[in-house]
Amino acid sequence: MHREILTVLLFSAPVVAFGQPASTGDLVLNARAILHKHCSACHHGGPGSKGELSVLSRSGLDRPSRPFVQLQQIVELIEDGSMPPGNRPAVPEAERAILRQWLAAAAPAYVQKYDDEYVLNTQLADVRSRPREDVPYTRYISLAHEVSGEFAPLEPRRSAVRKVLSDLGKADGGLKPLDPAETVFRVDLRQLGWDAKPFESVKEVNEKEVRTPLPWTLYDAVLLEYPHGQYYDDKAGEALRETFLKPAAQVRPVAHLRGDWLIDALPKLPIAAELRLHFGKPFEAIGKPAATVYQAGKGTPILPFDAISQPGIERDPAPFKVMYFETLDAKTKQPEAKFKIGDTFIIHMHASQDLHVEIVLTDAKGEKDILPPQRIERNAPAYIRPEGEDGYTIPESTPAGKSYLTFYASESKLPAGEVWKGRGFADRVVHPFYGLDKPAAGFDATKVIKRTIEIEIRK
């Protein structure tokens, strides 16, 4: 095709991808998918690759001396049918139109892999460009893991992220894409409204209730529910700890949230209903979450042990076995899960290892109390009750309905939990299991088991 004809095509092509308007990000990802599909078998930059160019990333398409000219020539060869060569199928017109649109837009960059390394480096570049005073309010969201080699537009997912933030906040947080493919985004907690700090600790001092404001935000409450956090030990991860995670001072050192979790999981969790109430949004019913089994991953995971949506967490394989966790009637010593005001119960546990145990009682109103820590011996029944008493007596003030007993168990001593209380929010028990650089000293959070049982209180 003659160069002048190609130029007309480039600047007259409608911005359409298979009949639908294409965002700039999807234009980049579609061009990447086309070049990978039709050209990567020969032009991949590795052993056996033909010529100097590689279609695996945008940078591999340029010659240093003639960066954009070569790219125009590549599209020209595809247009006139010279590429792919031989008997290989020609690139369909709909796909050639996308390449023309992409070239007309100055061929925004794409990369070979949209992986965690890419996301972290994109974040790092943005953090370094931000005013220092804004960094504590800056947070990041990623859709990069949803990028595939196929024609799978991300624009519906981008729109879904905006909708979730708008539904659960006062706005979408000024959601801003940071890369040409629009896979990594920045939000501002102040614009989102998730910078609010509604939580406080409550302690009794000299028979008086003392309330102390806590530094944790609504975003921190969301982080407690997040199941995909992990420590990153590469250069970008280490740099982000200093430039971002330290000034952000989050309850968990999570670098970014996955967009699919925000879209598909967060609106169904109890925290979503609390956020709607906080911002005066219409109430939406949620389903009952199930316990989650977490598989071992490459990095060190940051597990959501303090998520109110996760009644149980056990790694696979489990670090030890808990054969029994049940309540017994203090008089009959028989298993019982239904009690009346004034009844007394015992907690029975039996495990395969010596364990440190913390038990949290959650009543029907969502209020939580942490029972004194316990030490139980391996392969021996443990009967947990207040020292010197027959058991835990249910006081008159206990609300009727379903209550829950949750245990945290570990072979090493557990860092003590703290109760967060907030108006319009259920109580949360939060443990300092995770530091900024690593899990708490001398403690392995991956070897903790959390499990919950239900009891019923009747008047």
- The mean per-residue pLDDT over the stretch 217-239 comes to 94
The sign of the torsion formed by the CA atoms of 63, 65, 68, 69 equals: negative
pLDDT in tens, 187-208: 999 999 999 999 999 887 887 8
Q: What pTM, to 2 d.p., does this model score?
A: 0.90
Q: H/E/C letters for each residue in the chain?
A: CCHHHHHHHHHHCCCEECCEECCHHHHHHHHHHHHHHHHCCCCECCCCCCCCCECCCHHHHCECCEHHHHHHHHHHHHHCCCCCCCCCCCCCHHHHHHHHHHHHCCCCCCCCCCCHHHHHHHHHHHHHHCCHHHHHHEEEEECHHHCCCCCCCCHHHHHHHHHHHHHHCCCCCCCEECCCCCCEEEEEHHHHCCCCCCEEEEEEECCEEEEEECCCCHHHHHHHHCCCEEECCCHHHHHHHHHHHHHHCCCCCCCCEEHHHHHHCHHHCHHHHHHHHHCCCCCCCCCCCCCEEEECCCCEEECCCCCCCCCCEEEECCCCCEEEEEEEECCCCCECCEEECCCEEEEEEEECCCEEEEEEEECCCCCEEECCCEEECCCCCEEECCCCCCCEECCCCCCCEEEEEEEEEECCCCCCCEEEEECCEEEEEECCCECCCCECCCCCHHHCEEEEEEEEEEC
Higher pLDDT, 275 or 45: 275
Domains and CATH numbers, the chain: 3-104 (1.10.760), 116-278 (no CATH), 298-458 (2.60.40.2550)
The sign of the torsion formed by the CA atoms of 4, 9, 10, 11 equals: positive
Burial of 288 (0-12, 13-18, 19+ CB in 10 A): exposed
Q: What local confidence, expressed as pLDDT, does residue 277 receive?
A: 94
Q: What local confidence, expressed as pLDDT, does residue 275 receive?
A: 96
Contact 263, 272 (CB under 8 A): no
Q: What local confidence, expressed as pLDDT, does residue 81 receive?
A: 79
Categorize the per-residue pLDDT at 49 as very low, low, confident or very high, splitting at 50, 70 and 90: confident
Q: What local confidence, expressed as pLDDT, does residue 99 receive?
A: 92
Higher pLDDT, 80 or 407: 407
Range name among 44-48, 122-126, 360-364, 444-448 with the lowest pLDDT average: 44-48
pLDDT in tens, 1-41: 344 433 433 333 344 444 444 689 999 999 999 999 988 88
Return mean pLDDT, the chain: 88
Q: What local confidence, expressed as pLDDT, does residue 53 receive?
A: 81
Distance of alpha carbon 27 from alpha carbon 153, whole angstroms? 9
What percentage of the chain reaches a pLDDT higher than 70?
Answer: 90
Q: What local confidence, expressed as pLDDT, does residue 366 receive?
A: 92
Q: What local confidence, expressed as pLDDT, does residue 15 receive?
A: 43
Q: What local confidence, expressed as pLDDT, does residue 6 receive?
A: 39
Distance of alpha carbon 33 from alpha carbon 23, whole angstroms? 15
Distance of alpha carbon 81 from alpha carbon 198, whole angstroms? 63
pLDDT in tens, 129-180: 999 999 999 999 999 999 987 878 899 999 999 999 999 999 999 999 999 9
